[in-house]
Protein backbone atom coordinates (compact mmCIF):
# COMPACT_ATOMS: atom_id res chain seq x y z
CA UNK A 1 0.00 0.00 0.00
CA UNK A 2 1.27 3.49 -0.80
CA UNK A 3 1.55 5.69 2.28
CA UNK A 4 2.22 9.41 2.43
CA UNK A 5 3.51 11.33 5.44
CA UNK A 6 4.59 14.97 5.69
CA UNK A 7 7.95 16.26 6.79
CA UNK A 8 10.01 19.38 6.20
CA UNK A 9 13.36 20.48 4.74
CA UNK A 10 15.32 23.58 5.68
CA UNK A 11 17.36 25.64 3.26
CA UNK A 12 18.92 28.60 4.97
CA UNK A 13 16.18 29.60 7.38
CA UNK A 14 13.33 28.70 5.11
CA UNK A 15 11.29 25.53 5.45
CA UNK A 16 9.91 23.48 2.55
CA UNK A 17 7.23 20.81 2.83
CA UNK A 18 8.44 17.35 1.94
CA UNK A 19 6.19 14.41 1.08
CA UNK A 20 7.59 11.15 2.32
CA UNK A 21 5.96 8.43 0.19
CA UNK A 22 6.57 4.78 0.84
CA UNK A 23 5.64 1.88 -1.38
CA UNK A 24 6.18 -1.73 -0.44
CA UNK A 25 6.13 -4.34 -3.18
CA UNK A 26 6.76 -8.01 -3.44
CA UNK A 27 10.28 -8.95 -4.46
CA UNK A 28 13.75 -9.32 -3.10
CA UNK A 29 14.16 -7.45 0.20
CA UNK A 30 15.60 -3.98 -0.37
CA UNK A 31 15.31 -0.50 1.11
CA UNK A 32 15.83 2.44 -1.20
CA UNK A 33 15.41 6.16 -0.53
CA UNK A 34 15.08 8.36 -3.61
CA UNK A 35 14.65 12.08 -4.18
CA UNK A 36 18.14 13.56 -4.27
CA UNK A 37 19.07 12.20 -0.89
CA UNK A 38 22.53 13.03 0.36
CA UNK A 39 24.80 10.84 2.45
CA UNK A 40 22.97 11.79 5.63
CA UNK A 41 19.75 10.33 4.26
CA UNK A 42 21.41 7.05 3.34
CA UNK A 43 22.55 6.86 6.94
CA UNK A 44 18.98 7.36 8.01
CA UNK A 45 18.12 4.00 6.38
CA UNK A 46 20.13 2.22 9.05
CA UNK A 47 18.60 4.24 11.87
CA UNK A 48 15.03 3.79 10.63
CA UNK A 49 15.42 0.06 10.11
CA UNK A 50 16.96 -0.51 13.50
CA UNK A 51 14.50 1.83 15.27
CA UNK A 52 11.49 0.01 13.80
CA UNK A 53 12.83 -3.38 14.87
CA UNK A 54 13.71 -2.14 18.35
CA UNK A 55 10.23 -0.71 18.79
CA UNK A 56 8.74 -4.19 18.39
CA UNK A 57 7.43 -3.62 14.89
CA UNK A 58 8.29 -5.60 11.82
CA UNK A 59 10.62 -4.16 9.26
CA UNK A 60 8.99 -5.48 6.07
CA UNK A 61 11.09 -8.10 4.38
CA UNK A 62 10.17 -6.89 0.90
CA UNK A 63 11.06 -4.27 -1.65
CA UNK A 64 10.68 -0.88 0.09
CA UNK A 65 10.95 2.37 -1.82
CA UNK A 66 10.82 5.69 -0.02
CA UNK A 67 10.48 8.80 -2.15
CA UNK A 68 11.18 12.25 -0.74
CA UNK A 69 9.36 14.74 -2.93
CA UNK A 70 9.72 17.24 -4.51
CA UNK A 71 12.92 15.88 -5.98
CA UNK A 72 14.36 19.27 -6.89
CA UNK A 73 14.74 20.39 -3.30
CA UNK A 74 18.15 19.34 -2.08
CA UNK A 75 17.62 17.68 1.25
CA UNK A 76 20.06 17.15 4.04
CA UNK A 77 20.19 16.20 7.68
CA UNK A 78 18.50 13.58 9.81
CA UNK A 79 15.15 15.26 10.41
CA UNK A 80 13.15 12.95 8.08
CA UNK A 81 13.79 9.78 10.14
CA UNK A 82 10.51 9.92 12.00
CA UNK A 83 8.43 10.60 8.89
CA UNK A 84 10.13 7.76 7.01
CA UNK A 85 9.53 5.34 9.89
CA UNK A 86 5.87 6.38 10.20
CA UNK A 87 5.31 5.99 6.46
CA UNK A 88 6.82 2.48 6.53
CA UNK A 89 4.62 1.47 9.46
CA UNK A 90 1.66 2.87 7.61
CA UNK A 91 2.53 1.34 4.24
CA UNK A 92 3.04 -2.07 5.81
CA UNK A 93 -0.36 -1.65 7.50
CA UNK A 94 1.02 -1.97 10.99
CA UNK A 95 -0.62 1.40 11.62
CA UNK A 96 -3.75 2.54 9.88
CA UNK A 97 -4.24 6.23 10.48
CA UNK A 98 -4.88 9.27 8.33
CA UNK A 99 -1.82 11.47 8.65
CA UNK A 100 -2.86 14.28 6.29
CA UNK A 101 -3.19 16.81 9.11
CA UNK A 102 0.12 16.03 10.79
CA UNK A 103 3.80 16.59 10.24
CA UNK A 104 6.58 14.45 11.66
CA UNK A 105 10.00 15.83 12.50
CA UNK A 106 13.06 14.40 14.13
CA UNK A 107 16.04 12.10 14.11
CA UNK A 108 15.74 8.54 15.44
CA UNK A 109 18.39 6.74 17.40
CA UNK A 110 18.96 3.04 16.80
CA UNK A 111 16.85 2.04 19.82
CA UNK A 112 13.85 4.03 18.55
CA UNK A 113 14.18 7.08 20.78
CA UNK A 114 13.90 10.52 19.25
CA UNK A 115 16.87 12.79 19.40
CA UNK A 116 17.02 16.55 19.62
CA UNK A 117 17.09 17.84 16.01
CA UNK A 118 18.33 21.12 14.52
CA UNK A 119 16.00 23.55 12.79
CA UNK A 120 12.74 22.47 14.44
CA UNK A 121 11.41 26.00 14.96
CA UNK A 122 11.44 27.10 11.29
CA UNK A 123 9.89 23.74 10.35
CA UNK A 124 7.05 24.14 12.83
CA UNK A 125 6.60 27.68 11.62
CA UNK A 126 6.15 26.43 8.04
CA UNK A 127 3.73 23.69 9.14
CA UNK A 128 1.60 26.30 10.87
CA UNK A 129 1.64 28.57 7.82
CA UNK A 130 0.52 25.62 5.69
CA UNK A 131 -2.48 25.18 7.94
CA UNK A 132 -1.50 21.86 9.49
CA UNK A 133 -2.84 21.27 12.95
CA UNK A 134 -0.47 18.78 14.58
CA UNK A 135 3.30 18.60 14.74
CA UNK A 136 5.14 15.67 16.24
CA UNK A 137 8.60 16.68 17.44
CA UNK A 138 11.29 15.16 19.65
CA UNK A 139 10.56 15.73 23.33
CA UNK A 140 13.77 17.78 23.66
CA UNK A 141 12.55 20.19 20.95
CA UNK A 142 9.05 20.67 22.35
CA UNK A 143 9.87 23.78 24.34
CA UNK A 144 11.39 25.45 21.29
CA UNK A 145 8.47 24.45 19.06
CA UNK A 146 5.86 25.60 21.56
CA UNK A 147 6.77 29.23 21.12
CA UNK A 148 4.45 29.35 18.12
CA UNK A 149 0.72 29.66 18.63
CA UNK A 150 -2.18 28.14 16.71
CA UNK A 151 -0.64 24.72 16.21
CA UNK A 152 -0.51 21.72 18.54
CA UNK A 153 2.93 20.47 19.47
CA UNK A 154 3.19 16.81 20.47
CA UNK A 155 6.40 15.91 22.29
CA UNK A 156 7.51 12.44 21.27
CA UNK A 157 9.94 10.30 23.26
CA UNK A 158 10.16 7.29 20.99
CA UNK A 159 8.76 5.66 17.90
CA UNK A 160 7.07 2.98 20.03
CA UNK A 161 5.33 5.65 22.10
CA UNK A 162 4.14 7.50 18.99
CA UNK A 163 2.81 4.30 17.40
CA UNK A 164 0.98 3.47 20.64
CA UNK A 165 -0.54 6.96 20.55
CA UNK A 166 -1.98 6.35 17.09
CA UNK A 167 -3.24 2.92 18.10
CA UNK A 168 -5.07 4.48 21.01
CA UNK A 169 -3.05 2.57 23.59
CA UNK A 170 -1.76 5.73 25.23
CA UNK A 171 -2.21 9.42 24.66
CA UNK A 172 0.50 11.97 24.02
CA UNK A 173 -0.79 15.31 25.24
CA UNK A 174 0.02 18.52 23.40
CA UNK A 175 2.75 20.60 24.99
CA UNK A 176 1.99 24.14 26.13
CA UNK A 177 5.15 26.15 26.77
CA UNK A 178 5.56 29.43 28.56
CA UNK A 179 4.67 32.02 25.92
CA UNK A 180 5.25 35.05 28.09
CA UNK A 181 8.86 35.82 27.26
CA UNK A 182 9.32 38.25 30.13
CA UNK A 183 8.93 35.39 32.55
CA UNK A 184 11.54 33.35 30.78
CA UNK A 185 14.19 36.05 30.95
CA UNK A 186 16.98 35.35 33.42
CA UNK A 187 18.26 38.55 34.95
CA UNK A 188 21.86 38.01 35.89
CA UNK A 189 24.75 39.31 33.85
CA UNK A 190 28.47 38.69 34.16
CA UNK A 191 29.24 42.36 33.57
CA UNK A 192 27.32 45.29 34.98
CA UNK A 193 27.68 49.01 34.27
CA UNK A 194 28.30 49.57 37.98
CA UNK A 195 31.54 47.55 37.74
CA UNK A 196 32.98 50.20 35.43
CA UNK A 197 34.47 53.07 37.41
CA UNK A 198 34.38 56.55 35.88
CA UNK A 199 33.90 56.54 32.09
CA UNK A 200 30.57 58.34 32.50
CA UNK A 201 30.90 59.74 29.00
CA UNK A 202 31.35 56.27 27.49
CA UNK A 203 28.50 54.79 29.50
CA UNK A 204 26.21 57.59 28.43
CA UNK A 205 27.13 57.00 24.78
CA UNK A 206 26.51 53.27 25.14
CA UNK A 207 23.13 53.96 26.72
CA UNK A 208 22.17 56.13 23.75
CA UNK A 209 23.50 53.50 21.34
CA UNK A 210 21.51 50.75 23.06
CA UNK A 211 18.38 52.90 23.18
CA UNK A 212 18.31 53.81 19.49
CA UNK A 213 20.29 50.81 18.15
CA UNK A 214 23.05 53.09 16.90
CA UNK A 215 26.36 51.62 15.77
CA UNK A 216 29.20 52.82 17.95
CA UNK A 217 33.00 52.93 17.81
CA UNK A 218 35.09 53.34 20.98
CA UNK A 219 38.68 54.51 20.68
CA UNK A 220 41.15 54.51 23.56
CA UNK A 221 44.45 53.22 24.91
CA UNK A 222 44.88 49.61 26.09
CA UNK A 223 43.43 48.94 29.52
CA UNK A 224 41.02 51.88 29.52
CA UNK A 225 38.04 49.56 29.84
CA UNK A 226 36.70 49.40 26.27
CA UNK A 227 36.28 45.64 26.29
CA UNK A 228 34.75 45.76 29.74
CA UNK A 229 32.29 48.46 28.66
CA UNK A 230 31.24 46.52 25.57
CA UNK A 231 30.76 43.32 27.54
CA UNK A 232 28.45 45.04 29.98
CA UNK A 233 26.21 46.22 27.15
CA UNK A 234 23.88 43.14 27.19
CA UNK A 235 22.80 44.13 30.72
CA UNK A 236 21.22 47.37 29.45
CA UNK A 237 19.66 46.18 26.19
CA UNK A 238 15.87 46.21 25.97
CA UNK A 239 14.21 42.77 26.14
CA UNK A 240 13.45 40.95 22.90
CA UNK A 241 9.91 41.18 21.61
CA UNK A 242 8.27 37.81 21.02
CA UNK A 243 8.62 38.22 17.28
CA UNK A 244 12.31 39.05 17.60
CA UNK A 245 12.88 36.11 19.94
CA UNK A 246 11.35 33.75 17.38
CA UNK A 247 13.58 35.15 14.62
CA UNK A 248 16.69 34.74 16.74
CA UNK A 249 15.69 31.28 17.90
CA UNK A 250 15.19 30.16 14.29
CA UNK A 251 18.75 31.18 13.46
CA UNK A 252 20.16 29.41 16.52
CA UNK A 253 17.91 26.44 15.82
CA UNK A 254 19.26 25.81 12.31
CA UNK A 255 22.81 26.47 13.52
CA UNK A 256 22.44 23.83 16.22
CA UNK A 257 23.42 26.46 18.77
CA UNK A 258 20.46 26.34 21.11
CA UNK A 259 21.94 25.28 24.44
CA UNK A 260 20.53 21.90 25.62
CA UNK A 261 18.80 23.33 28.70
CA UNK A 262 17.30 26.43 27.08
CA UNK A 263 15.57 25.77 23.80
CA UNK A 264 14.66 29.39 23.29
CA UNK A 265 16.79 32.47 22.87
CA UNK A 266 15.35 35.02 25.28
CA UNK A 267 18.29 37.40 25.46
CA UNK A 268 19.53 39.68 22.74
CA UNK A 269 22.55 37.95 21.25
CA UNK A 270 26.01 39.34 21.99
CA UNK A 271 28.67 37.96 19.67
CA UNK A 272 32.34 38.85 19.84
CA UNK A 273 34.26 36.98 17.14
CA UNK A 274 38.05 37.17 17.24
CA UNK A 275 39.73 39.32 14.56
CA UNK A 276 41.20 36.22 12.91
CA UNK A 277 37.68 35.20 11.79
CA UNK A 278 37.26 34.48 8.09
CA UNK A 279 34.98 36.35 5.78
CA UNK A 280 32.57 33.40 5.59
CA UNK A 281 32.69 32.93 9.36
CA UNK A 282 31.46 36.48 9.65
CA UNK A 283 28.83 36.54 6.91
CA UNK A 284 27.89 32.84 6.71
CA UNK A 285 28.36 30.25 4.01
CA UNK A 286 29.19 26.64 3.30
CA UNK A 287 27.62 23.96 1.14
CA UNK A 288 24.67 23.83 3.54
CA UNK A 289 24.70 27.55 4.22
CA UNK A 290 25.12 28.27 7.87
CA UNK A 291 24.50 31.66 9.43
CA UNK A 292 27.67 33.62 10.18
CA UNK A 293 28.39 35.87 13.16
CA UNK A 294 26.44 38.78 11.66
CA UNK A 295 23.31 36.61 11.60
CA UNK A 296 24.02 35.07 14.99
CA UNK A 297 23.98 38.64 16.31
CA UNK A 298 20.64 39.40 14.62
CA UNK A 299 18.52 41.60 16.92
CA UNK A 300 21.52 41.92 19.20
CA UNK A 301 25.09 43.13 19.27
CA UNK A 302 28.08 42.30 17.11
CA UNK A 303 31.15 43.35 19.08
CA UNK A 304 34.33 43.69 17.04
CA UNK A 305 37.19 44.25 19.46
CA UNK A 306 40.53 45.43 18.02
CA UNK A 307 38.53 46.63 15.01
CA UNK A 308 41.44 47.48 12.61
CA UNK A 309 42.93 43.99 13.10
CA UNK A 310 40.05 42.33 11.25
CA UNK A 311 40.82 41.34 7.67
CA UNK A 312 40.03 43.88 5.00
CA UNK A 313 37.70 41.51 3.13
CA UNK A 314 35.88 40.60 6.34
CA UNK A 315 35.33 44.24 7.27
CA UNK A 316 34.17 45.25 3.82
CA UNK A 317 31.72 42.33 3.77
CA UNK A 318 29.87 44.05 6.63
CA UNK A 319 28.89 47.04 4.51
CA UNK A 320 26.03 45.57 2.51
CA UNK A 321 24.41 43.71 5.42
CA UNK A 322 24.64 46.85 7.55
CA UNK A 323 22.64 48.65 4.89
CA UNK A 324 20.15 45.88 4.06
CA UNK A 325 19.87 44.20 7.49
CA UNK A 326 20.08 40.84 5.71
CA UNK A 327 22.92 38.91 4.10
CA UNK A 328 22.62 36.97 0.88
CA UNK A 329 24.86 33.99 0.32
CA UNK A 330 25.16 32.78 -3.24
CA UNK A 331 25.43 29.07 -3.85
CA UNK A 332 25.16 26.64 -6.72
CA UNK A 333 21.52 25.79 -6.00
CA UNK A 334 20.27 29.35 -5.63
CA UNK A 335 20.84 32.06 -3.07
CA UNK A 336 20.08 31.92 0.60
CA UNK A 337 19.22 34.95 2.69
CA UNK A 338 19.73 35.22 6.43
CA UNK A 339 18.61 38.09 8.64
CA UNK A 340 21.50 40.25 9.88
CA UNK A 341 20.04 43.17 11.77
CA UNK A 342 22.78 43.73 14.29
CA UNK A 343 24.05 46.68 16.22
CA UNK A 344 27.77 47.10 15.64
CA UNK A 345 29.94 47.89 18.62
CA UNK A 346 33.58 48.29 17.73
CA UNK A 347 36.64 49.11 19.82
CA UNK A 348 40.12 50.16 18.76
CA UNK A 349 43.33 51.75 19.92
CA UNK A 350 44.04 55.19 18.47
CA UNK A 351 47.33 54.02 16.93
CA UNK A 352 49.47 50.86 16.66
CA UNK A 353 51.19 51.37 20.04
CA UNK A 354 47.93 52.45 21.61
CA UNK A 355 48.96 55.67 23.31
CA UNK A 356 48.40 58.42 20.76
CA UNK A 357 46.80 61.33 22.62
CA UNK A 358 47.33 59.70 26.04
CA UNK A 359 48.36 62.28 28.68
CA UNK A 360 50.47 59.80 30.68
CA UNK A 361 52.30 57.64 28.16
CA UNK A 362 54.26 58.68 25.13
CA UNK A 363 53.11 57.49 21.71
CA UNK A 364 55.90 55.89 19.67
CA UNK A 365 54.13 55.89 16.34
CA UNK A 366 54.92 58.08 13.36
CA UNK A 367 52.24 60.14 11.67
CA UNK A 368 52.36 57.75 8.70
CA UNK A 369 51.86 54.73 10.96
CA UNK A 370 48.90 56.32 12.69
CA UNK A 371 47.33 57.34 9.40
CA UNK A 372 47.81 53.89 7.89
CA UNK A 373 46.36 52.26 10.99
CA UNK A 374 43.23 54.40 10.87
CA UNK A 375 42.84 53.89 7.13
CA UNK A 376 42.21 50.18 7.71
CA UNK A 377 38.64 51.13 8.46
CA UNK A 378 37.27 52.35 5.16
CA UNK A 379 35.24 55.50 4.73
CA UNK A 380 32.05 53.70 3.65
CA UNK A 381 32.23 51.50 6.75
CA UNK A 382 32.77 54.51 9.05
CA UNK A 383 29.80 56.13 7.33
CA UNK A 384 27.60 53.43 8.81
CA UNK A 385 28.68 54.20 12.37
CA UNK A 386 26.61 56.79 14.25
CA UNK A 387 28.49 57.33 17.49
CA UNK A 388 32.24 57.86 17.94
CA UNK A 389 33.71 58.21 21.41
CA UNK A 390 37.08 58.44 23.08
CA UNK A 391 37.61 56.22 26.07
CA UNK A 392 40.63 57.66 27.91
CA UNK A 393 42.48 56.08 30.80
CA UNK A 394 40.85 56.25 34.20
CA UNK A 395 43.43 57.27 36.79
CA UNK A 396 44.40 54.55 39.23
CA UNK A 397 43.15 56.73 42.10
CA UNK A 398 39.64 56.82 40.73
CA UNK A 399 39.65 53.12 40.01
CA UNK A 400 40.35 52.31 43.65
CA UNK A 401 38.41 55.02 45.44
CA UNK A 402 35.36 55.77 43.34
CA UNK A 403 32.11 54.49 44.74
CA UNK A 404 30.16 52.15 42.52
CA UNK A 405 28.06 53.91 39.92
CA UNK A 406 24.54 53.49 38.59
CA UNK A 407 23.62 49.83 38.06
CA UNK A 408 22.67 48.38 34.71
CA UNK A 409 19.12 47.67 35.79
CA UNK A 410 18.52 51.40 36.37
CA UNK A 411 19.97 52.26 32.96
CA UNK A 412 17.99 49.46 31.38
CA UNK A 413 14.71 50.90 32.62
CA UNK A 414 15.39 54.09 30.66
CA UNK A 415 16.42 52.13 27.59
CA UNK A 416 13.24 50.02 27.82
CA UNK A 417 11.00 53.09 27.85
CA UNK A 418 12.80 54.51 24.82
CA UNK A 419 12.52 51.18 23.05
CA UNK A 420 8.77 51.19 23.61
CA UNK A 421 8.48 54.73 22.27
CA UNK A 422 10.19 53.60 19.07
CA UNK A 423 8.05 50.46 18.74
CA UNK A 424 4.99 52.70 18.80
CA UNK A 425 6.53 55.29 16.50
CA UNK A 426 7.41 52.77 13.83
CA UNK A 427 4.39 50.45 14.06
CA UNK A 428 3.40 49.22 10.62
CA UNK A 429 6.64 50.37 8.97
CA UNK A 430 9.80 48.45 8.06
CA UNK A 431 11.76 50.65 10.46
CA UNK A 432 12.37 49.40 13.99
CA UNK A 433 14.69 51.93 15.59
CA UNK A 434 15.79 55.55 15.37
CA UNK A 435 19.07 54.43 13.83
CA UNK A 436 17.32 52.93 10.82
CA UNK A 437 15.01 55.86 10.05
CA UNK A 438 14.79 56.95 6.44
CA UNK A 439 15.21 60.66 5.53
CA UNK A 440 11.43 60.90 5.09
CA UNK A 441 10.86 59.45 8.54
CA UNK A 442 13.44 61.85 9.96
CA UNK A 443 11.47 64.77 8.53
CA UNK A 444 8.36 63.43 10.16
CA UNK A 445 9.72 62.41 13.54
CA UNK A 446 12.66 64.75 14.24
CA UNK A 447 10.89 68.03 15.00
CA UNK A 448 13.47 70.58 16.12
CA UNK A 449 12.40 73.36 18.46
CA UNK A 450 13.25 76.84 17.15
CA UNK A 451 16.43 77.33 19.22
CA UNK A 452 17.65 73.84 18.37
CA UNK A 453 16.99 74.55 14.73
CA UNK A 454 19.21 77.61 14.70
CA UNK A 455 22.00 75.86 16.65
CA UNK A 456 21.92 72.98 14.22
CA UNK A 457 21.99 75.36 11.29
CA UNK A 458 25.08 77.13 12.61
CA UNK A 459 26.82 73.89 13.51
CA UNK A 460 26.18 72.37 10.10
CA UNK A 461 27.91 75.34 8.49
CA UNK A 462 30.78 75.80 10.90
CA UNK A 463 31.64 72.14 11.24
CA UNK A 464 31.17 71.50 7.52
CA UNK A 465 28.86 68.58 8.22
CA UNK A 466 28.27 66.32 5.24
CA UNK A 467 24.73 65.24 4.41
CA UNK A 468 25.43 61.89 6.02
CA UNK A 469 26.69 63.35 9.29
CA UNK A 470 23.80 65.80 9.29
CA UNK A 471 21.32 62.92 9.33
CA UNK A 472 23.40 61.03 11.85
CA UNK A 473 23.31 63.90 14.32
CA UNK A 474 19.57 64.19 13.82
CA UNK A 475 18.96 60.50 14.53
CA UNK A 476 21.10 60.53 17.65
CA UNK A 477 19.38 63.70 18.84
CA UNK A 478 16.05 61.89 18.40
CA UNK A 479 17.23 59.09 20.66
CA UNK A 480 18.60 61.53 23.25
CA UNK A 481 15.26 63.34 23.29
CA UNK A 482 13.46 60.00 23.61
CA UNK A 483 15.54 59.14 26.65
CA UNK A 484 14.12 62.30 28.22
CA UNK A 485 10.63 61.53 27.00
CA UNK A 486 10.66 64.74 25.00
CA UNK A 487 8.60 64.94 21.81
CA UNK A 488 10.48 67.90 20.37
CA UNK A 489 14.24 67.97 19.92
CA UNK A 490 15.79 70.69 22.07
CA UNK A 491 19.08 72.60 21.92
CA UNK A 492 20.89 70.41 24.45
CA UNK A 493 19.86 67.26 22.54
CA UNK A 494 21.49 68.59 19.38
CA UNK A 495 24.52 69.83 21.30
CA UNK A 496 25.10 66.42 22.83
CA UNK A 497 24.52 64.59 19.54
CA UNK A 498 27.13 66.77 17.86
CA UNK A 499 29.75 65.52 20.34
CA UNK A 500 29.47 61.99 19.03
CA UNK A 501 30.51 62.76 15.49
CA UNK A 502 33.79 61.47 14.11
CA UNK A 503 36.91 63.54 14.51
CA UNK A 504 39.90 62.95 12.26
CA UNK A 505 43.05 62.01 14.23
CA UNK A 506 44.98 65.01 12.85
N1 LIG B 1 36.89 52.08 34.28
C2 LIG B 1 37.23 50.91 34.81
N3 LIG B 1 36.60 50.47 35.92
C4 LIG B 1 36.94 49.29 36.48
N5 LIG B 1 37.90 48.49 35.99
C6 LIG B 1 38.57 48.87 34.88
C7 LIG B 1 38.25 50.10 34.24
N8 LIG B 1 39.05 50.22 33.17
C9 LIG B 1 39.81 49.12 33.14
N10 LIG B 1 39.52 48.30 34.16
C11 LIG B 1 40.19 47.05 34.47
O12 LIG B 1 41.20 46.85 33.51
C13 LIG B 1 41.01 45.65 32.80
C14 LIG B 1 41.29 45.86 31.33
O15 LIG B 1 40.27 46.61 30.73
P16 LIG B 1 39.79 46.32 29.26
O17 LIG B 1 38.34 46.51 29.22
O18 LIG B 1 40.30 45.02 28.78
O19 LIG B 1 40.54 47.50 28.52
P20 LIG B 1 40.69 47.74 26.96
O21 LIG B 1 39.74 46.85 26.27
O22 LIG B 1 40.36 49.19 26.81
O23 LIG B 1 42.11 47.45 26.66
C24 LIG B 1 39.55 45.27 33.02
O25 LIG B 1 39.39 43.88 33.04
C26 LIG B 1 39.28 45.87 34.39
O27 LIG B 1 39.61 44.95 35.39
MG1 LIG C 1 40.28 45.40 24.90
Mutation probe of ligand 1 site: the residue of 228, 231, 303, 392 with most atoms within 8 A of C-beta: 228
Measure the CA–CA gap between 288 and 74, rounded to whole angstroms. Answer: 10
pLDDT of residue 50: 97
Instruction: Give the CA distances from residue 484 to residues 265, 421, 445, in Å, rounded to whole numbers and listed in that order.
Output: 30, 11, 15
Kindly state the percentage of the chain with pLDDT values over 90: 69
3-state secondary structure 145-188: HCCCCCCEEEEECEHHHHHHHHHCCCCCCCCCCCCCHHHHCCCC
Domain ranges of the chain: 3-167, 184-428, 437-506
Check: CB of residue 215 under 8 Å from CB of residue 344.
yes
Whole-model pTM? 0.86
Check: CB of residue 118 under 8 Å from CB of residue 8.
no
Nearest CA to ligand 1 atom 12: 223
pLDDT of residue 186: 57
Measure the CA–CA gap between 68 and 47, rounded to whole angstroms. Answer: 17
Kindly state the percentage of the chain with pLDDT values over 70: 95
Averaged pLDDT score across all residues of the chain? 90
- Residue 304: nearest ligand to its CA? 2
Q: What is the pLDDT of residues 329-374, one digit of tens each?
A: 987 777 889 999 999 999 999 999 999 988 888 999 999 999 999 8
Which ligand 1 atom sits closest to the C-alpha of 228? 17
The top-level CATH class assigned to 184-428 is alpha beta
Check: CB of residue 445 under 8 Å from CB of residue 435.
no
Tell me what the mean pLDDT of segment 440-464 comes to.
93
Q: Which residues line ligand 1 (CB under 6 A)?
A: 196-199, 220, 222-228, 394, 399
Q: What are phi and psi of 63, to 5 degrees?
A: -90, 110
Q: What is the pLDDT of residues 198-210, one digit of tens each?
A: 899 999 999 999 9
- Residue 203: nearest ligand to its CA? 1
pLDDT of residue 332: 72
The top-level CATH class assigned to 437-506 is mainly alpha
Q: Looking at the predicted structure, is the pLDDT value of residue 92 above 60?
A: yes
Fold for 3-167, please state it: Ribosomal Protein S5; domain 2 (3.30.230)
Measure the CA–CA gap between 215 and 175, rounded to whole angstroms. Answer: 40
Q: What is the pLDDT of residues 262-277, one digit of tens each?
A: 667 888 999 999 999 9
Measure the CA–CA gap between 151 and 493, rounded to whole angstroms. Answer: 48
At 177, the pLDDT band (50, 70, 90 cuts) reads confident
DSSP 484: T
At 466, the pLDDT band (50, 70, 90 cuts) reads confident
Residue bearing the bigger pLDDT, 345 or 468: 345
Q: Looking at the predicted structure, is the pLDDT value of residue 184 above 60?
A: no
Please state whether 468 falls in left (phi above 0), alpha (psi between -120 and 50) or beta: alpha
Q: What are phi and psi of 271, to 5 degrees?
A: -115, 135
Amino acid sequence: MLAKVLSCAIIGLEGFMIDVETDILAGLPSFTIVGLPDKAIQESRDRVKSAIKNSNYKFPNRRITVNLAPADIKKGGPSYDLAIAMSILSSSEQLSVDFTDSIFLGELSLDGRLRRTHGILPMVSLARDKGLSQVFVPLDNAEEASLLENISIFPVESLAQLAAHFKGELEILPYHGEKDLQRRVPSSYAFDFSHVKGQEHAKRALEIAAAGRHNILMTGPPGSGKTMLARSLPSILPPLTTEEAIEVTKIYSVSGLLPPDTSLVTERPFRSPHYTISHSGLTGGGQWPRPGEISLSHNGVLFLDEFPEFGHVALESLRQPMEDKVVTISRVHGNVTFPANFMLVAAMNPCPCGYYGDPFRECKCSVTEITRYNKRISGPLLDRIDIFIDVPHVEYERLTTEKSAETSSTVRERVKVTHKTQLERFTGTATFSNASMSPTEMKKFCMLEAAAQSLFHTATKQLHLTARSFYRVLKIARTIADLENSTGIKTHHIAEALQYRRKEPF
